Each structure stands twice: as C-alpha cells, then as structure tokens.
Structure 1
Amino acid sequence: MSEEILSLHNAEIFQRENLVLSNVNLSIKKGEFVYLIGKTGSGKSSLMKTLYGDLPLEKGTGGIVDFDLTKLKEKEIPFLRRKLGIVFQDFKLLNDRTVYENLFFVLKATGWKDKGKMKAKIIEVLSKVGMETKDFKMPFQLSGGEQQRVAIARALLNDPDLILADEPTGNLDPVTSVDVMNVLRDIHNSGKTILMATHDYALILKFPYKTIKCEGGELFEVVQQKN
C-alpha cells in the first residue's frame, strides 16, 4: 500500500461564492506524477489554491501531507506550505536580490538558522535544476526558463512531500517548456510527488503521466490513448 499524500472526497471547490467544482474525488499517492488539465476558468487554479490553503475547503473532506483541509486554521497555513513545494506560472522571484538571496530569504523565513547548512542546501537545489553557476545573477538577468528553474529550486528547499506546479510552463516557449519539464521529470524520478496544472497538451503527449481533467464543474481521470 503506497501512502496517500492527497485525498479529496465529495469536495466542493468555491471561488469566492461561486461553486466551480462539485463532487471532487481525488487521490494522489506518494511518488505519483499527475497532470491537472482543463480550460481557463474550469477550476484548476481554484483547486490548486484550495490545496495550498489560499481558498478554504467548505464542503466535503480533504487531506494533504497530513493536514486536514476542512480544519485548516490560518496559523497552520505556513506549516502546510513548508511541506508543499509550490511553483507558479509567473515565477514570483524577488527582483531586488540575487538568485542566492532569493533562496536564502525563503530558508530564513521558514526557520533555518545555520548559515553553512543554508548555503549547502541552496547549492544542492540549484544543482538539481542546473542553475548552480547562476546563483550570483539577478532574476531579470535570466531567461524565463532559467527563472522557472530557480522557482523549482526554491520549491525544493524544504524537501517537500508534494510539489504543486500551477501552469509552470505557461509563460514559456515550447522548447523551454520541454527543458523545464525535463527538470520536473528528473525531480519526480528522484522520488518526489508532483501535481501539475497545465493546458499544454503537447507536453502531456511527450511526457505521459496520469491525467485528471476539470470540465463542466467536475473532475475526472482521462484515459490516455496508447499509440
């Protein structure tokens, strides 16, 4: 029995007072890579936001990395997010500091104290994404693909149980998207669990994994055609 890292049962996902997804049942086991697809406005982002505590889970039950989403308190959200690695479409890097300082800032904010260990961790995660030689650069000196690699490195800092990637290739050209996807695949192959929202069907064909779809207010698994 591999352990469930995320489970939702009969969940209803709201965006403000609008119900965007109903009767959501989803289970992700440790070590899986799962795509979340669907058109813009189909509820993908709202589902993601519910998973990392940005939107409350008002109906149904849900658990993620040992947190009960129905009982999640405001003060617990930072602790939930430490166990999640979140990768956004727009990188969300701090433009007034270097790559190294961006990552140092996150470690400091999440309670790391030992500068030597912090430095070692930063080098470790940057080397996982092929950015160890760019740690002195400012985000604006990097290409979009490089910025997203740094954002993925940032998501790995606290050794998360689950990586939530919300349209991580949404702002990238097709070649760069494949590069970033290769990084995510390597991270998955090292044992990490990943849930990735995307509307890039070319990537899904190139890197086939379990796929769930938001459509018509519901969530269901897509059976991929074998070539």
Structure 2
Amino acid sequence: MPETVLQLKNANIYQAENLVLSDVNVELQKGDFVYLIGKTGSGKSSFMKTLYGDLELTEGEGHIVDFNLLGLKEKDIPFLRRKLGIVFQDFKLLPDRTINGNLEFVLKATGWKDKTEINERLIKVLDKVGMGNKGFKFPHELSGGEQQRVAIARALLNEPELILADEPTGNLDPQTSIEVMEVLQDINKNGNTILMATHDYALLLKYPSKTFKCDENKVFEVVQRKS
C-alpha cells in the first residue's frame, strides 16, 4: 500500500480575505518527487505556506504527515514543522554562526541534547549534500549553491517525512541550479518525499516528474509532453 504523506481535498486557500486557490485536490505518496509550477502570484507560495502552517486552512480537507491542517492549533505547528523539511529560496542561514552552528541551533531548538549525537547528525547531513568539509565556515564564505546545499542539509536534520522546497533554485545560476537539483534527486532516491515549487522550466525538462500547476485560482496536474 502506498503511504499518503499529503492530501488536500476540496481545499480553499486564502491569503487574508482573498481566495488564492479554490477546490484544491492534491495527493503525494511516500517517495514521490512532485513539482508545483505557476507564474509569480499564481498561489505557489500560499500553497506551500498552508502546508507548513503559516496560512490557516479554513475550508476543505487537508492532511500532512499525520496532521490535520483544518483547525491546526498554534501549539501544534512546531511539531508539524519538525516532521517537515523546509528549503527556502533565500537560504535563511544565520549569518553570525558557522554552518555547524546553524545546524546545531536547529537541532537544539527541536530538542536534541546529546553533544555526540548532535555532532554525528551534523556530519551525516553535510556529507549527504557534499558539504562535509565546510562545517567550520560562515555562510558569507560560501557560494549561493553551497549555501543552498547547507539549507537542504538543515531540512534533513530531523529526518523529515516530507521536504517542501520553495523555489530552491530561484536565486541560483543555471549550472548551480542543476547541482542543487542533483542533490535533491539523490535525497529523493534515498526515499525522501519532496514537493518543490519552481518556475524553472528547464529543470522540469531535465528532471521530469509529476507536476501540478497553479493557474487562475486552480491547481491541476500537468502531463509533460515527451519530447
């Protein structure tokens, strides 16, 4: 039986009072790699924010990694986010501490206490994204692509059931974007489920996968033409 990691049924997504997406029906199974595409302003970010509890779901059904998004309580949001890995376009690394310090901060904030376990986990996730020897550096000493790899490593720290990548290559040049995509592809092959919002259509052609599109207040599956 495939395991459902995310399911939205007849969901309406609002930004303040404005209906951004209506009657959304989306399902992700464990191990999927799914794209969410659409023009700027089409609702991709609102969709993602609803999934990690930044926007409240008030109409329809929504289940994500065993949490019910409808009526999700404020106090449950940190627990939901522990089961998700979130990768942002602008990396969101803390500039005043090293890469190891950044990752350690997240682990401590999510309840890790044992110094040895913390160090082992840092080494493991940095190795996974090819940054094993860069832990002592500060974010400003890294290229954009390296910072995004660290952001992906950070998303992996608590072994998330679902990774939400919101325009992870948005600030990167084409070659670096491909390197970051290779990292995401490897992680997906290791069994991590990934939902990636992007407007980089070159990546979709290079790495075809299941795709949903936001357009005119709707979300629908797009079938990629085989070239």
TM band (smaller chain): over 0.9
Letter in 2 for 1:194: I
2:214 maps to what in 1? 214
**Aligned CA-pair RMSD:** 0.4
Q: Distance in 2 between matches of 1:215 and 1:133?
A: 42
> What is the deviation of 1:85?
0.1
Alignment of 1:119-138 (within 5 A): 119-138=119-138
**Cα offsets for 1:57-111 (capped at 9, x unmatched):** 0100100000000021001000000000000000000000000000000000000
Counterparts of 1:74 and 1:38 in 2: how far apart (Å)?
Answer: 29
Q: CA–CA distance in 2 between the matches of 1:185 and 1:165?
A: 12
Q: Which residue of 2 aligns with 1:205?
A: 205
Provide the C-alpha distance between the structure 2 equivalents of 1:58 and 1:149, rounded to a whole number of angstroms.
Answer: 34
Q: TM-score, normalised by structure 2?
A: 0.99
Between the aligned residues of both structures, percent identity stands at 71
Count of aligned positions: 227
SS in 2 for 1:134: coil
Output the CA distance in 2 between the equivalents of 1:193 and 1:21.
23
TM normalised by structure 1 equals: 0.99
Judge conservation of contact 2:36–2:44 (CA < 8 Å) in 1.
yes
How far is 1:25 from its partner? 0.3
Q: Tell me how far apart the structure 1 counterparts of residues 16 and 96 of structure 2 sit (CA, whole Å).
A: 33
1:2-41 equivalences in 2 (<5 Å)? 2-41=2-41
Tell me the SS of whatever aligns to 1:133.
coil
Q: Structure 2 matches for 1:1-227, cutoff 5 A?
A: 1-227=1-227
* 1:186-207 Cα distance to aligned partner (Å, 9 max, x none): 0000000000000000000000
Q: What residue identity is the alignment partner of 1:185? A: Q
Q: CA deviation at 1:14?
A: 0.6
Runs of 4+ in 1 over 4 A off after TM superposition: none
How many Å apart are 1:40 and its aligned residue?
A: 0.4
Unaligned runs of 5+ in 1: none
Q: Which runs of 5+ in 2 are unaligned?
A: none
Q: What is the DSSP-based 3-state SS (H/G/I as helix, E as strand, rest coil) of the residue aligned with 1:192?
A: coil
Taking the aligned partners of 1:73 and 1:172, their CA distance within structure 2 comes to: 36
Shift, 1:16, TM fit: 1.1
The amino acid that maps onto 2:120 is A
